[in-house]
Structure formats: C-alpha cells, structure tokens
C-alpha cells in the first residue's frame, strides 16, 4: 500500500506541472501538448462512444495471439537450443542475424505474405516477441545445475522425461522473465502492426488521431497501451514470485 502511494507521487507532480504549464499559464500552447483537461475530455468521449473499449479489445486480441504463437515457437525451441549444443551451433548464427532487425522492417514482407490486416499485425507482434522469449529460455536451460539432470538420470528418467520434469521446471523462472519481456515488446509493436491495413486497435487510434492533429486522443491511446503493459507486468511478476522456491 505504501509502495503504491509512493509510486504515484511523481505522476501526480507531473500532472500538476503539466496543468500549470498548459491550462493555467499557457506557457506551452495546446497544439504542442494538450492540457490534462483536454486529454480527460478525449478519454471521456472515447469511452462513451465505445471506441476505446473496442480498440483495446482489438489490440489485446492481436497482441495475445501473436504473443502466444511466439511463445509456442520460442519456448520449445529455446529449450532445445539450451539443451543441445549441436542445435545451438546450427541456429545461433541465424538467430543472431534476425534478432536485431526491428519488427517494423518486416512490414513489406508481412504485407506480401499475409496481406493487409490481421495476419500481418499478428506477424509483426510475433517477430517482436519471439526473440526475447527464445533467448531467455535457452539461457535458463543452459544455467541449470547439472546435478539436477544427473539426478534425474540416476533415478531412471529418460531424456524426454528429464526435459519435461526437470529442465522445464528448472528453467521456468527464466522462461517467465522471457515472456514478460516478450509481452512488453509485443505491445511496443502495436502501432507498427496496426499501420498495415488495420482500421481499428489502439495503434490505429494513435495514428489516426495524430493525422487529424487530435493529440489528446493520441495520448489516451498511448496511456491505454501503457496500462495494458502494466497489467501484464503485474501478472508475470506475480507468477515469478509464486515460483520463488
């Protein structure tokens, strides 16, 4: 509780300074930064006409689908890379090359492969979140104390059982950290993802609001993405704590 209050101090100060600089003194003109009041009004109207909820749901479903596909690919592959040096040798170069490419750079190919709309959006989010999950999982597997794996073998487990019952749970804290980072990046990709042929979603909301110089609505969209991110962060942190054996 005290921590919650403390964490709200700086945002409160920012809002006060922001209000002073815009509404109360007009030092910063409203076409540069809208006032808190404007943003609140924009929030109210976007909430009332249902657009905010709808865009949030649209973005959330894209992000979750892209993220889940990324996790389904990255967790098993990461375990394999961490487990087998041969697999790592085959894949480390290609992963090293693909990983630094910004998701936004994939947009032309996303359009060619998946057309305009949902498929492309999911692909962009997938590209953004797959690597952090992959790297973190592989790293977690590599760090496992060998004594756990050897214990499993001396207790009669075969390789597959050892991966399922020892490697996976032992690496789970790292896997969850990877998921947390991956989700953060997935959300960072929403604007890029919704540039391509989408006509809804928070990224689309921000883009259209900006093009119509409605910066107050853009800020509402930005804050909505922030709140979604914070919520996921909270959920993953809770999961991490639960695993604190």
Partner 1 sequence: MVFKIKKVNKNFQNKTMEMEILKNIDLTIEDGEFLVLLGPSGCGKTTLLRMIAGLDFPSSGTITDNDVPVLNPSPERGFVFQQYSLFPWRTVLDNVAFGLEVKGIDAEERYEKAKNYIEMVGLSAFIESYPNQLSGGMKQRVAIARALVNEPDSLLMDEPFAALDVLSRHKLQKEIIQIWQQETKTIIFVTHNVDEAVFLADRILVFSERPGRIIQTLKIEQERMRDRTSEEYLDIKRKITGLLETNQKF
Please give the residue ranges that form the binding site for partner 1 (CB under 8 A).
147-148, 150-158, 161, 165-166, 169-170, 172, 243, 245
Residue closer to partner 1 by CB (options 85, 227) is: 85
Residue closer to partner 1 by CB (options 31, 245) is: 245
Residue closer to partner 1 by CB (options 7, 154) is: 154
Residue closer to partner 1 by CB (options 54, 142) is: 142
- Least Å distance, CB 143 to partner 1, is 14
Indicate the burial class of 61 (C-beta count within 10 angstroms; 0-12, 13-18, 19 or more): middle
What is the per-residue DSSP string for 155-188? TT--HHHHIIIIIHHHHHHHHHHHHHHHHHHHHH
- Least Å distance, CB 142 to partner 1, is 18
- Least Å distance, CB 177 to partner 1, is 16
Cβ–Cβ contacts within 10 Å for residue 137, how many?
29
- Least Å distance, CB 158 to partner 1, is 8
Cβ–Cβ contacts within 10 Å for residue 88, how many?
15
Give CA–CA dist 178/184, Å, rounded.
Answer: 10
Residue closer to partner 1 by CB (options 19, 157) is: 157
Task: Say which residues have a Cβ less than 8 Å from residue 10's Cβ, sequence separation at least 6.
Answer: none
- Least Å distance, CB 75 to partner 1, is 17
Residue 144 DSSP code: S
């Amino acid at each position: 509780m005290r921590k919650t209050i403390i964490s709200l101090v700086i945002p409160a100060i920012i809002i006060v300074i922001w209000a002073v600089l815009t509404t109360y003194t007009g030092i910063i003109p409203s076409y540069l930064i809208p006032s808190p009041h404007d943003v609140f009004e924009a929030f109210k109207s976007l909430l009332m006409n249902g657009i905010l909820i709808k865009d949030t749901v649209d973005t959330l479903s894209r992000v979750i689908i892209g993220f889940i596909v990324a996790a389904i690919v990255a967790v098993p592959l990461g375990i394999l890379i961490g487990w087998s040096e041969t697999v790592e040798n085959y894949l480390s170069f290609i992963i090293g090359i693909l990983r630094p490419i910004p998701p936004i750079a994939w947009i032309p190919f996303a359009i060619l492969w998946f057309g305009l709309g949902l498929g492309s959006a999911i692909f962009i989010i997938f590209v953004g979140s797959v690597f952090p999950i992959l790297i973190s999982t592989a790293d977690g597997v590599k760090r496992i104390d060998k004594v756990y794996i050897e214990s499993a073998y001396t207790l009669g487990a075969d390789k597959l059982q050892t991966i399922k019952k020892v490697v996976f749970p032992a690496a789970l804290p790292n896997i969850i950290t990877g998921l947390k980072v991956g989700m953060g990046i997935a959300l960072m990709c929403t604007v890029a993802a919704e540039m391509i042929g989408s006509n809804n979603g928070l990224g689309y909301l921000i883009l259209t609001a900006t093009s119509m110089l409605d910066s107050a609505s853009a800020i509402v969209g930005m804050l909505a993405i922030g709140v979604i991110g914070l919520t996921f962060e909270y959920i993953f942190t809770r999961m991490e704590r639960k695993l604190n054996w």
